[in-house]
Amino acid sequence: MSDLLTTSVEYLKGVGPKRAELLRKELGVETFGDLLNQYPFRYIDKTQFHRIGEIQEENTYVQLRGILRRLDLIGEGRKRRLSGQFRDESGVVDLVWFSGVHFLQKQLVVGQEYILYGRVNAFRDQYSIAHPEMEVYTPEAAQTASFFAPVYPSTEKLNNQGLDAKTRRRLTRILLDRLTPAEVPENLPDYLLQKLRFCSRLEALEGIHFPKSAEQLEAARNRLKFEELFFLQMRLLQLKRRRQQSVRGFSFDQIGTHFNHFFSDILPFSLTEAQKRVLREIRRDLGSGIQMNRLLQGDVGSGKTVVGFMTMLMAVDNGYQACLMAPTEILAQQHYLSISAYGEAMGLEVAFLAGSVKGKKRQAILDKLASGEIHLIIGTHALLEDPVVFHRLGLAITDEQHRFGVEQRARLWRKSQPYPPHVLVMTATPIPRTLAMTLYGDLDVSVIDELPPGRKEIITQHRTENHRLRVLGFMREQIALGRQVYVVYPMIEESEKLDLKNLMEGYEALSREFPPPEYQLSIVHGKMKAADKDYEMQRFVSGQTQIMVATTVIEVGVNVPNATVMVIENTERFGLSQLHQLRGRVGRGGDQSYCLLMSSFKLSSESRERIQTMVRTTDGFQIAEADLRLRGPGNIEGTQQSGMINLRIADLARDGRILQSAREIAMRILDHDPSLQRPEHQSIKQHLVSNNRESRVWSRIS
Ligand code: ADP
Ligand code: MG
């Protein structure tokens, strides 16, 4: 590794301790290498000089060559500014600076010839340029000026301390000029460079900072994107391999009586091919002697629960207990209902544990769990509490959860000896492939990408306020057919009060439209006590109420097959993945189901696109891709907390192809040379070691 790149940026000509501190604070730039790794976010075309007399429009960027004519400090206090005049043979423009005026006044020389760059404003028939970049004219400067000039992320503080765009550019230029190829060692093997037709690393850096043509920029981008994604995948895949080598697990060798009995005698339908494939993948993990760490992705209604249950049977058949955790008590309860029905048919002891289970009842469950009498336990995160002791926990399943936090993982691992339990995480939030490859790149991922046969596509329509009466009429028709209806209101933190008001008003209006005794309504929102929520929910689940008015608390997992209509109010305020989850609450029985997206007439183009996406498709993966495109990876659920998608140049919404190839190549290399021993892979190894600082802490799901 070259020492130059790890040298503190303080020692770069023109920086010094004060600016170095500023660069560190404002941009996190500490070394020469960091500075080089700050890529421009855009470029300005400096391939030609303009003539002042030919400027025709404001808001255009121009590059001029001419003489600074005047320079005066005018105004007082906060209104103080530096005013100048610049002229070439064709005309005159005014110049003005509002900050850094003293510094500039000392720097700039009246009568000097400059190359000037800036954006033109029009003011009282006179063109002017605020905060232009100025560089003393020399033939060499004119030469280097003639390409696309990089624009770097900056802050006001940096600008005020003389670290403006121009200076940043100059620093990067000085640095690049000092670098020799030896100081930017190649980090990809020759055979890859040739195969992928990549330029050298030094060329790529030159090309990304100071491209002389669009082609050069493209070549640099290609290589740097690949490099970034490749090393990310290398790290993830190495982590995965290390885990697979070091975290031993219980070996479930038997496919035994319970599994077979359930499969042939009790399972009321045939499994889809996707379900079978996933069960085979799980089965392979469980028999491998290594702890399973598998994410099971499957759209709403794809049948994850039965796969989870059959995995639990594999544990039971090998003499282990299994638990299933859900994020809310309602969801846990629903899982308990379906799993205990299956379990009882097979003589298994299935228990439920959540915050609401108290006193003697709780103690009895804890005792039976510790003695091993209970085979399967379903509950909330109450299962992770310390008094919960298992006889022999072999498998933990979580539903609708993102990764465990470190603390939760530790709690889970403490419950099982001598190995941690196998872990299966089920999620109905479809994650775009590119995100899955990065967010979950160190995990094993199974996907159920097929719905059970015979499902009717949910009919989705966009409706505005003037359709309200027809929507109410439609609800009445469906209720007359014996069906049930959800009406969902947004509820977000910032405007909680207003949201609650909307919800209550909506509820009252609906109560007038659907009066008792003919109609009964349930209401559920996040401000209610858990017990009240459960009561209201239960009335809807059991069919005593026909309409459920709710906020997004019902978003995840609730299963009422008789509900056929989902009305979403203020649809524009929901994100795509939320809408998809909500729609998934209907269409769970055999009847044709409907999703009506209510919104105001006026919509932002993004809201409109979200609604159109929902109307166009019910495929969760397509919706997730659209979400990624509309909002960018940083805003997709589950990515913020992880802070993982912090890429410098690659874009997960656009660079899927590069990512795919980077991952495949990384896999192939590790398959053939797991510890990177071969001479041709030393460059990769070196890079991984010396850039270790960049690798974030990737947590396992368990
Ligand atoms: P998910 O949890 O993935 O949203 P569920 O496991 O709740 O989906 O399954 C949804 C419904 O589909 C359940 O009523 C379940 O019994 C049923 N189901 C699951 N797999 C199949 C299958 N292969 N064929 C028919 N119905 C199925
Ligand atoms: Mg489910």
Q: Are residues 444 and 543 in the same domain?
A: no
Q: Which ligand is nearest to the CA of 309?
A: 1
Q: Which ligand is nearest to the CA of 559?
A: 1
Q: Are residues 413 and 497 in the same domain?
A: no
User: Parallel, antiparallel, or unpaired for β 61-74 and 113-123?
Assistant: antiparallel
Q: In what order do the strands lie in the sheet with 563-568?
A: 459-464, 594-599, 563-568, 484-488, 547-550, 521-524
Q: Which of 302, 336, 581 to mutate to test the pocket of ligand 1 (most atoms within 8 A of CB)?
A: 302
Domain boundary among the residues 448, 481, 498 is at 448
pLDDT in tens, 650-672: 888 888 899 999 999 999 999 99
Residue 107 placed within a domain? yes
Q: Are residues 385 and 477 in the same domain?
A: no
Question: Looking at the predicted structure, is the pLDDT value of residue 87 above 90?
Answer: yes
Domain boundary among the residues 595, 617, 639 is at 617
Question: Looking at the predicted structure, is the pLDDT value of residue 636 above 60?
Answer: no
pLDDT in tens, 482-515: 999 999 998 765 567 777 788 899 999 999 999 9
Q: Are residues 513 and 597 in the same domain?
A: yes
Say which CATH number the domain at 53 has. 2.40.50.140
Question: Looking at the predicted structure, is the pLDDT value of residue 60 above 50?
Answer: yes
> What one-letter code names the amino acid at 688?
L
Confidence (pLDDT) at 1: 45
521 by DSSP, 3-state: which? strand
Question: Looking at the predicted structure, is the pLDDT value of residue 571 above 90?
Answer: yes
Residue 435 placed within a domain? yes
Cis bond upstream, residue 420 (ω within 30): no
Q: Are residues 525 and 431 in the same domain?
A: no
Q: Is the CB of 428 under 6 A from ligand 1?
A: yes
Q: Taking the model in full, what pTM does it have?
A: 0.69
Q: Where are the alpha helices (DSSP H) in 287-405?
A: 304-317, 329-345, 359-371
Residue 366 placed within a domain? yes
Confidence class of residue 641 from pLDDT cuts 50, 70 and 90? very low
* 564, 484 Cβ separation under 8 angstroms: yes
Say which CATH number the domain at 570 has. 3.40.50.300
Confidence class of residue 169 from pLDDT cuts 50, 70 and 90? confident
Q: Are residues 465 and 422 in the same domain?
A: no
Q: Which domain holds residue 105?
A: 47-145
Q: Determine the distance separating the centroid of ligand 2 and the alpha carbon of 614, expressed in angstroms.
A: 21
Residue 178 placed within a domain? no
Nearest partner of 333 among 364, 306, 354, 361, judged by Cα: 354
Q: Are residues 429 and 518 in the same domain?
A: no
Average pLDDT taken over every residue of the chain: 87
pLDDT in tens, 348-358: 999 999 998 99
Q: Determine the distance separating the centroid of ligand 1 and the alpha carbon of 399, expressed in angstroms.
A: 14
Q: Are residues 444 and 570 in the same domain?
A: no
Residue 640 placed within a domain? no
Average the pLDDT over 23-44 and give the result: 88
Residue 374 placed within a domain? yes
Q: Return the percentage of the chain with pLDDT > 90, whole number.
A: 50
Q: Are residues 389 and 479 in the same domain?
A: no
Residue 31 placed within a domain? no
pLDDT in tens, 106-139: 999 999 999 998 889 887 778 899 989 888 998 8
Question: 588 versus 441: which is more confidently predicted?
Answer: 588
Q: Are residues 93 and 124 in the same domain?
A: yes
Residue 644 placed within a domain? no
Q: Is the CB of 589 under 6 A from ligand 1?
A: no
Q: Which residues contact 419 (CB under 8 A, 6 or more apart)?
A: 247, 248, 249, 250, 291
Q: What is the CA radius of gyration of the chain?
A: 32
Q: Are residues 472 and 612 in the same domain?
A: yes
Nearest partner of 19 among 151, 157, 135, 153, judged by Cα: 157
Q: Determine the distance separating the centroid of ligand 2 and the alpha carbon of 399, expressed in angstroms.
A: 7
Q: Which ligand is nearest to the CA of 585?
A: 1
Name the domain count of the chain: 3
Q: Is the CB of 304 under 6 A from ligand 1?
A: yes
Question: Looking at the predicted structure, is the pLDDT value of residue 52 above 60?
Answer: yes
Question: Looking at the predicted structure, is the pLDDT value of residue 634 above 70?
Answer: no
Domain boundary among the residues 601, 617, 633 is at 617
Confidence (pLDDT) at 494: 57
Q: Are residues 433 and 499 in the same domain?
A: no
Confidence (pLDDT) at 556: 55
Phi-psi map region of 301: left, alpha, beta (phi>0 left; psi -120 to 50 alpha): left
* 548, 487 Cβ separation under 8 angstroms: yes
pLDDT in tens, 194-212: 999 999 999 999 999 999 8
User: Can you say how many angstroms the Cα of residue 674 is from the centroid of all Cα atoms in its chain?
Assistant: 29
Confidence (pLDDT) at 318: 96
